[in-house]
Amino acid sequence: MILEFDLGNTRAKWRIIDDFSTIQDRGVFLFEEKNLKDKVAEIVTGADKVRLASVRSTDIEREIEAICSSKGVVFFTAKTLKQCAGVVNAYEDPTKMGVDRWLAMVAGFNVAKKPCCVIDCGSAITVDFINPQGLHQGGYIVPGFNTLKKSLFHSTERVYFSLDRQLDSCLPGRDTQQAVNHGSLSMVVSWLNSLCEKFRDDYGEQSGLYLTGGDAELVVNHLSYKAECYPDLVMEGLAYCEQARLEGEV
């Protein structure tokens, strides 16, 4: 069995897959949870291999590697590279790009080997474009929904709304809560629609639009363009990157 980790800014996603990439188990935990090391060790038990994608400090990465070593489990951690699995990074210094973003790009292009726009709707919203030859054309990073709402909440007085209420519509709000939630969603969706329109004009209707991240399901329902959600796109990229390294392509 293969255990894959996607360690984000606030939470960790994990899944266990078999040799045919069929998901056998999965879960999520927050980094604030007590006995985090014991929890990771418990999840690792029974795995033959661990693949890791992490934007956290290297401390937790070393801890997971040490746990794997103590249990005789093969360990692979992904790094952002200049080139991997048919994708060429546009960054002059690839180490400046988060590995989660890189893995999503690699997986997105390898889904169908065609031009694609990869949108990750998490703590930040990232958008990246890849041409038919696998060349990364650059991208964008903007605040995610929670960050947008928090910035408004902390920058205004006597404007009351809950940060916990969910976004669900782009219609004009009829109270402050709706105005903030619907306004945030409308702003992001309008921006993404404009990027998708330009992308489709450049690369045609058959190009891929792929969404991942915690808010992907919310956003995809409001886009004007057909897009596909891949909740595990970052973890999907791990296998491509490991295989490329094993084959000496990186």
The CATH number of residue 65's host domain is: 3.30.420.40
Instruction: Give the residue numbers marked as catalytic.
Output: 100
pLDDT of residue 22: 87
The token pair at 167 is 């976004």
Stated pTM of the model: 0.89
Same domain? For 64 and 90 the reply is no
pLDDT of residue 151: 75
pLDDT of residue 164: 64
pLDDT of residue 170: 78
pLDDT of residue 159: 61
Mean pLDDT in order along the chain per 10 residues (250 residues) = 88 87 86 72 87 86 88 92 95 95 96 93 93 96 85 63 66 80 89 94 90 91 92 94 75
pLDDT of residue 121: 93
Same domain? For 120 and 232 the reply is yes
pLDDT of residue 58: 82
Query: Cβ neighbours of residue 21 under 8 Å, at least 6 residues apart?
Result: 239
pLDDT of residue 12: 84
Q: How many residues does the chain have?
A: 250
What CA–CA distance (Å, rounded) separates 239 from 245? 10
Residue 10: strand, helix, or coil: coil
Is residue 152 domain-resident? yes
pLDDT of residue 241: 93
pLDDT of residue 33: 61
Number of domains in the chain: 2
Same domain? For 141 and 227 the reply is yes
pLDDT of residue 76: 94
